[in-house]
Amino acid sequence: MKRWGSILLVLLVTLGVHAASQSGAQTIMDTQLNAAPYSDASNIVPVPASTNVTILSRQGGWYHVRLDSGQDGWLRMTSLRMNSSSSGSSWGMGWLSQLFGSGRSGATGTTATTGVRGLNTGDIAKARPDPQAVDSLNAWIATPGQARQFAQELHLKAQQIPYLPDIKVQQP
């Protein structure tokens, strides 16, 4: 009985990993398909924003993908959004795909923490001011007295640091 349970577990994990390794995604910005998972690798073809790709594998902050044209190469993790519908499979193993999948944080709840996540040109282009969020920071304001007390408790000493001189930047 124990043996059949072990076999079933191995089968479920294998199917889940296969489903996760063959998931779909979409580019969130114009990017380049690279020949290898490195920023200095040669570019194969340009990939426009909103292009559907099939994820074949992952290496660090890079995904090995296949385009609908059949061309395969590497894209940065930060240039992709996982398709929520791709986590399912015809075998009803979508929950395993979600369990073993990885990618950007999003509506599917999938998250990868590789240390390469940051702002990219797509994030910056879509940025919008949020005055309400800025106003909520006022709850964290420390008075000068609170700051002095904090510094005293940690035995911190005041240190004067001169301002940097103004530098005029020439526009190209």
Tell me the backbone φ, ψ of residue 74, rounded to 5 degrees.
-120, 135
Top-level CATH class of 21-104?
mainly beta
For the chain, the domains span 21-104
Compute CA 163 distance to the chain's CA centroid, rounded to the nearest angstrom. Answer: 36
**pLDDT for position 22:** 58
| Token couple for 62 | 């890079």
The tokens for 107 are 């509506």
Distance (Å, rounded) from C-alpha 27 to C-alpha 63?
A: 12
Has residue 172 got a pLDDT over 80? Answer: no
Measure CA 1 to chain center. Answer: 42
Could you tell me if 73 and 44 are in contact, meaning their C-beta atoms sit under 8 angstroms apart? yes
pLDDT per residue as tens digits for the range 126-171: 888 889 988 898 888 999 999 999 999 999 988 888 888 887 777 7
Whether the per-residue pLDDT at 86 is higher than 50: the answer is: no
Query: Has residue 77 got a pLDDT over 60?
Result: yes
Q: Check whether 107 has a pLDDT greater than 80.
A: no
